């Protein structure tokens, strides 16, 4: 099938590449000329495992093309996806200006019956706005073309995006049009082999499903972080508690890891946007507000532990392992590391940070500053440091040589923001250990 995708961010680029990989003929459009030009030369703007070779192979095979020419791209697609960003507005609602700009462009250039599929994370009711924007442009052109607007939210995770896209748990399709549903079933057939993964529903339910999924996952994390606070105070170890509850299949093992708080471009933004929508419709989102409040507090917890240990961190040099909001990405949007670094700087400490992928991003965000040294290795970050803080659970941080750490880290103290280590093992090496919710 001929597919057009607006937006070459995480969702657009991964979706376009995976659709090309299974044989569809895909054109990706972006307004960013430098990005498009780079993609056509095989320069991938994001770090995502497995993506780069797939983009190059499909581009070389002629199934994946990048362009800034919206008119040609719209002419190409039987199905046109909208996969552009919905950044938070000042009041926490999702800003739809990019989505609606694409809708207007589609209305201006559409030449035949088209299925418009929204993949961006958008508040309930957006499909109606997209439909109205396209209809308005068609009316301006005095054209009477038929089109459908479908909601098809994306559930891929950064760091595992290609896998999530190639092997989805479910494909949510919200539409009231049997023809559009049939078309999307054909489009997604290659991902749908062993059993039916398409969950068909009305448009508004599909729009809400996306937010409900992210809010549920964020709720699990905030719940565990609150349990961790309780564990710390009552003298329990949250890691034992986690193992004790995760084995109940009704609770499950996923997303019950306490830590330094959730970050990224989705959970913080989506929980707030859903709370905003709830308010608009007269619902009081007590739970969603609490999920967000617990997370905001949790992002400050590592600094609290450091203050508890030191009293005052002024003049300390702190080694920070991990800057990305989670492993296998260079993304630092709403990352817990940013809260910690700011608190350390405000308190007069210096930071020596290492991240396997996010150094460039950190340089872009923080610029050059006296109190930040971005290091090339985990070992370099430790040189001359008084304390070690682990913020992101990259694999390479999981089993350090604790005896060596005890020799190098001057104040012999480790703050483990992701509970990677066994406290007894760390302490046996002569280091003080602080984890999340480990009050034993
Ligand atoms: C999330 C969802 O998991 C995807 O299903 C969704 O499609 C995506 O948002 C989106 O809406 O686009 P992502 O933000 O890439 O994906 O990252 P996650 O793996 O979900 O992690 C989010 C944050 O939660 C990270 O900061 C992570 O460290 C934290 N987390 C995760 C915990 O603190 N504890 C856990 O047990 C799990």
Note whether 145 and 274 are same-domain residues: no
Q: What is the pLDDT of residue 90?
A: 84
Asked whether residue 143 is domain-assigned, the answer is yes
User: Residue 240's domain spans which residues?
Assistant: 235-440
Note whether 50 and 185 are same-domain residues: yes
pLDDT at 194 over 90: no
pLDDT at 345 over 80: yes
- What value does the CA radius of gyration of the chain take, rounded to a whole number of Å? 24
Catalytic residue at 165? no
217 Cβ below 6 A of ligand 1: yes
Asked whether residue 182 is domain-assigned, the answer is yes
Asked whether residue 215 is domain-assigned, the answer is no
266 Cβ below 6 A of ligand 1: yes
Note whether 294 and 168 are same-domain residues: no
Atom of ligand 1 nearest to the CA of 329: 15
Q: Name the DSSP letter for residue 89.
A: P
Residue 41 belongs to domain with CATH number: 3.40.50.720
Asked whether residue 224 is domain-assigned, the answer is no
Closest residue by CA, ligand 1 atom 12: 266
d(CA 336, CA 305): 14
Note whether 249 and 155 are same-domain residues: no
Higher pLDDT, 297 or 194: 297
Closest residue by CA, ligand 1 atom 18: 157
- ipTM, two decimals, is 0.96
d(CA 110, CA 130): 14
Lookup: tokens for 293: 């409040």
Note whether 430 and 284 are same-domain residues: yes
Asked whether residue 167 is domain-assigned, the answer is yes
What number is the average pLDDT over the span 343-355? 98
Atom of ligand 1 nearest to the CA of 264: 14
Residue carrying the six token digits 């994306």: 154
Query: Within 10 A of 62 (CB to CB), how many other CB atoms are there?
Result: 9
d(CA 5, CA 117): 9
- Span 288-297, pLDDT tens digits: 999 999 999 9
Q: Which of 201, 218, 247 is the last residue of a domain?
A: 201
d(CA 120, CA 333): 17
Residue 16's DSSP bridge partners are: none
Closest residue by CA, ligand 1 atom 19: 157
| Percent over 90 (pLDDT), the chain | 94
C-alpha 299 – ligand 1 centre gap (Å): 15
- Mean pLDDT across the chain, nearest whole number? 96
121 Cβ below 6 A of ligand 1: yes
C-alpha 210 – ligand 1 centre gap (Å): 13
C-alpha 266 – ligand 1 centre gap (Å): 7
* Domain count along the chain: 2
Note whether 286 and 370 are same-domain residues: yes
Note whether 171 and 261 are same-domain residues: no
416 Cβ below 6 A of ligand 1: no
Say how many CA atoms lie within 13 Å of 426 toward its Cβ: 21
Q: What is the pLDDT of residue 424?
A: 97
Q: Categorize the per-residue pLDDT at 196 as very low, low, confident or very high, splitting at 50, 70 and 90.
A: confident
Nearest to 301, CA basis, from 430, 421, 419 = 419
Asked whether residue 420 is domain-assigned, the answer is yes
Q: Categorize the per-residue pLDDT at 47 as very low, low, confident or very high, splitting at 50, 70 and 90.
A: confident
Note whether 76 and 175 are same-domain residues: yes
214 Cβ below 6 A of ligand 1: yes
Q: Which of 182, 201, 220 is the last residue of a domain?
A: 201
Note whether 183 and 287 are same-domain residues: no
- Span 133-182, pLDDT tens digits: 999 999 999 998 999 999 999 999 988 999 999 999 999 999 999 999 99
d(CA 427, CA 227): 24
Nearest to 403, CA basis, from 395, 393, 414, 394 = 414
273 Cβ below 6 A of ligand 1: no
Q: What is the pLDDT of residue 40?
A: 94
Say how many CA atoms lie within 13 Å of 320 toward its Cβ: 34
Note whether 140 and 248 are same-domain residues: no
| Percent over 70 (pLDDT), the chain | 100
Note whether 169 and 26 are same-domain residues: yes
Atom of ligand 1 nearest to the CA of 214: 2
Q: Categorize the per-residue pLDDT at 87 as very low, low, confident or very high, splitting at 50, 70 and 90.
A: confident
Nearest to 21, CA basis, from 167, 169, 180 = 167
Query: Within 10 A of 244 (CB to CB), how many other CB atoms are there?
Result: 10
Asked whether residue 223 is domain-assigned, the answer is no
221 Cβ below 6 A of ligand 1: yes
Q: Name the DSSP letter for residue 9.
A: S
Classified as helix, coil or strand, 433 is strand
Asked whether residue 298 is domain-assigned, the answer is yes
- Span 90-111, pLDDT tens digits: 887 889 999 999 999 999 999 9
C-alpha 157 – ligand 1 centre gap (Å): 6
Note whether 160 and 299 are same-domain residues: no
From the candidates 18, 28, 229, 266, which is the catalytic residue?
A: 266
């Amino acid at each position: 099938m001929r597919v057009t995708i607006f937006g070459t961010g995480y969702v657009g680029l991964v979706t376009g590449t995976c659709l090309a990989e299974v044989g569809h003929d895909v054109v990706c459009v972006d307004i960013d000329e430098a990005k498009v030009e780079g993609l056509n030369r095989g320069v991938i703007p994001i770090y995502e495992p497995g993506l780069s070779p797939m983009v190059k192979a499909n581009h070389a095979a002629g199934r994946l093309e990048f362009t800034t020419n919206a008119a040609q791209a719209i002419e190409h697609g039987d199905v046109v996806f909208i996969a552009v960003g919905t950044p938070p507005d000042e009041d926490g609602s999702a800003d739809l200006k990019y989505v609606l700009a694409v809708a207007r462009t589609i209305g201006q250039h559409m030449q035949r019956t088209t299925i418009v599929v929204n993949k961006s994370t958008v508040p309930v009711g957006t499909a109606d706005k997209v439909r109205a924007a396209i209809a308005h442009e068609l009316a301006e052109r005095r054209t009477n073309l038929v089109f459908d607007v479908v909601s098809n939210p994306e559930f891929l995770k950064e760091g595992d995006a290609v896998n999530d896209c190639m092997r989805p748990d479910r494909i949510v399709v919200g539409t009231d049009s049997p023809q559009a549903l049939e078309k999307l079933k054909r489009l997604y057939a290659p991902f749908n082999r062993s059993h039916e993964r398409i969950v068909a529903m009305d448009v508004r339910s599909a729009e809400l499903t996306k937010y409900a999924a992210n809010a549920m996952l964020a709720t699990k994390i905030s719940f565990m972080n609150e349990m961790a606070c309780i564990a710390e105070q009552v003298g329990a170890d949250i890691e034992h508690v986690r193992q004790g509850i995760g084995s109940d299949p009704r609770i499950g093992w996923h997303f019950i890891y306490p830590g330094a708080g959730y970050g990224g471009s989705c959970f913080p933004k989506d929980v707030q946007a859903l709370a905003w929508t709830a308010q608009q419709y007269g619902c009081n989102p007590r739970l969603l507000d609490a999920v967000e409040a617990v997370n905001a507090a949790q992002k400050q917890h590592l600094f609290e532990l450091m203050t508890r240990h030191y009293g005052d961190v002024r003049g300390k040099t702190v080694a920070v392992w991990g800057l990305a909001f989670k492993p296998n990405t260079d993304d630092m949007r709403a990352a817990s590391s940013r809260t910690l670094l700011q608190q350390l700087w405000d308190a007069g400490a210096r930071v020596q940070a290492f991240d396997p992928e996010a150094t460039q991003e950190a340089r872009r965000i923080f610029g050059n500053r006296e109190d930040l040294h971005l290091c090339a290795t985990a070992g370099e970050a430790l040189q001359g440091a008084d304390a070690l803080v682990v913020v992101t659970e990259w694999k390479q941080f999981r089993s350090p040589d604790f005896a060596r750490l005890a020799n190098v880290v001057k104040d012999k103290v480790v703050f483990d923001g992701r509970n990677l280590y066994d406290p007894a093992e760390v302490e046996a090496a002569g280091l003080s250990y602080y984890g999340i919710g480990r009050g034993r």
